[in-house]
Amino acid sequence: MLEASALQAAERLDRQVAKGIPVGPLAGVPFAVKNLFDVAGLTTLAGSAINRENPPATQDATVVARLKQAGAILVGTLNMDEYAYGFVTENSHYGPTRNPHDLSRSAGGSSGGSAAAVAGGLVPLSLGSDTNGSIRVPAALCGIYGLKPTYGRLSRAGVALLAPSFDHVGPLARSVADLALSFDAMQGPDPQDPVCARRPADPTFGQLGQGIQGLRIAVADDYFLRGAEPHILAGVEKVAQALGAQQTVRIPEAERARAAAFLITAAEGANLHLHHLRTRPHDFDPATRDRLLAGALLPASWIVQAQRFRRWYRQQLQALFQEIDLFIAPTTPCSAPLLGQEKIVIAGVEVLTRPNLGLYTQPLSFVGLPVVSVPLRESGSLPFGVQLVAAPYQEVNLLRAAAHLEALGIPEAQPA
């Protein structure tokens, strides 16, 4: 179905160009989407077996429709962790997504298919979703750019959610310009999504060449510099030097923020899938089912306390951004683990792989900050990423800084 519609869209664009009719800024750009975005005529799987029984979507998700309106051509939907609950895209129903840089390794998740498709050169642009790091983790492990905008900045209408108070959607690409163009095309209020910010679009593409003059940039220390592999910390330092970061900042209680994020995510996810957990538990991916069942059993008092902490944590970060514009942190503590690898070592301690790939992303999703993961690759290493983090609605600062790094030749976001 998508092959026919993609060819028709391309032919339509050709006719418009031949007639001198203006076309959109993404005219002819092929893109693909994580299979939790509604695509008219296709069943939205969200990585699950249960959803195969659902009827096809009747219309495109808002952001998919907006990319099409900008001239982009949808060519496919992509593998993911079941219900977007994971960091490895090793799906028991549809198989693993392999890292294009080393097929024995994970592409990350839960937007693993989205990252692998871009890194492998199948498409220049894809869409993913990010609850606790699901755009940034696979972008880092696959060596491409990934943008998690401010919570509520892009519409989630027509997107299968995992944890509604966390979920973001955003683009993955091999260049900062592609991130900015697609982000600009998707911006704007949407009455179909009640949390989509009621604010006009704020174009970023035209500001990429402004450089970093005037931006106050720091490096997140303490929690964010503990446990990462040496080559990743070296990458953070390389980015800091290139951006002229002269100071460090301490993000208060980041470890507790991560713990609270675990609790709230599990509780919200369990609530969304409670009916099927009760009636069809054996139809879930076992790794997803067990975490959702645990979320369903959490005491309500724990969730209330986590939400109270969330308010306090947001206030602390709001105060921090009175002093700085951006801070720098690792995206993941390591490069891509092997498929099926159950444990990794962080700070000399063996820990489970799946949850700990989000060690540095989760405390930032917790309060909806905009983040871009910038790809790096040291000699002899697999790709990894460094996060640039800004105050809410300051995506333009992120993209200016990322474009500055790109102009210096520091990031490497090329097909594997």
For 327-339, what is the mean pLDDT? 98
The pLDDT mean for the chain works out to 96
Structure-token pair, residue 230: 């040496």
pLDDT at 378: 79
Q: Which has the closest alpha carbon to 114: 45, 34, 2?
A: 34
For 114-122, what is the mean pLDDT? 98
Angle at 211 between CA 209 and CA 217, to 5 degrees: 145
The verdict on whether omega for the bond into residue 182 sits within 30 degrees of 0, i.e. cis, is no
For 48-64, what is the mean pLDDT? 98
Contact at 8 Å (CB) between 260 and 165? no
pLDDT at 70: 98
Domains and CATH numbers, the chain: 2-407 (3.90.1300.10)
Question: The dihedral of CA 260, 312, 135, 325: what is its sign?
Answer: negative
pLDDT at 25: 96
pLDDT at 380: 75
For 169-185, what is the mean pLDDT? 98
Read off the pLDDT of residues 10-44 as tens digits, 9 standing for 90 and up: 999 999 999 999 999 999 999 999 999 999 999 99
User: What percent of the chain stands above pLDDT 90?
Assistant: 94
Active-site residue (options: 48, 106, 110, 182)? 110
Active-site residue (options: 134, 155, 365, 373)? 134
One-letter amino acid for residue 56 of the chain: P
Buried b (16+ CB within 10 A) or exposed e, 152-188: bbbbbbbbbbbbeebbbbbbbbbbbebbbbbbbbbbb
End-to-end CA distance of the chain: 28
Give me the count of residues in the chain: 416
pLDDT at 413: 65
pLDDT at 329: 98
For 125-134, what is the mean pLDDT? 98
Is residue 371's pLDDT more than 70?
Answer: yes
pLDDT at 197: 74
Point out which residues pair with 98 in neighbouring strands.
Answer: 106
Q: How confident is the model at residue 414 (pLDDT cuts 50, 70, 90)?
A: low
Say whether 110 is catalytic: yes
